[in-house]
């Protein structure tokens, strides 16, 4: 299935954002890497916020055949 917005794995994306934040806290000093990570972090944050603001909970009933 192609990756849609709703396919975002919230837990994974959130964990990745936390890892980037921790990387910055540690004070690594590589400008190129820092900028790449910053861009990735901002994209993740936008996606996560979007997920929380736009998406709805989908409920469907699974029909079980009762014996």
Partner 1 sequence: MQIMSVSGFLAYVNETFKAIWDAQEVAIEGEVFGYRLSQGQWVSFDLKDADGLVNIFLPVWKMQGPPIEDGMRVRVFGLPRVYPKYGKFSLSAERIEIAGEGGLRKALALLRQRLEQEGLFDSSRKRQLPRFPMRIALIASRESAAYGDFIRILNERWRGLEIDLYHVLVQGENAPGQIVRAIEWAGRGVIDHALVPDPMVAGPKGPGRNELRPYDALVLTRGGGSLEELMAFNDERVVRALYGSKIPTLVGIGHERDLTFAEEVADVRASTPTDCARRLVSDRQDVLYELATLERGISEALEFRVDQWRETIANSIDVALRWIKGLEDRRASLTRLFQSFDPRSVVQRGYAIISDGTGQVRTALKGLRPQDTLTIAMRDGTAETLIQSLYAKKEK
Three-class DSSP category at 1: coil
Is 3 a binding residue for partner 1 by CB under 8 A? The answer is: no
Q: How far is CA 48 from CA 2, 30, 42, in A?
A: 19, 26, 10
Is 58 a binding residue for partner 1 by CB under 8 A? The answer is: yes
Is 61 a binding residue for partner 1 by CB under 8 A? The answer is: yes
CA distance 48 to 5: 10
Which residues are near partner 1 by CB under 8 A?
Answer: 1, 6, 8-11, 14, 17-18, 20-21, 24-25, 27, 29, 31, 34-35, 38, 41-42, 45, 48-49, 51-64, 66-67
């Amino acid at each position: 299935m192609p990756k849609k917005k709703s396919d975002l794995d919230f837990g994974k994306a959130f964990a990745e954002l936390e890892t980037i934040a921790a990387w910055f806290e540690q004070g690594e000093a590589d400008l190129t890497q820092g900028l790449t990570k910053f861009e990735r972090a901002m994209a993740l944050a936008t996606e996560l916020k979007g997920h929380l603001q736009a998406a709805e909970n989908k409920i469907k009933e699974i029909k079980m055949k009762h014996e």
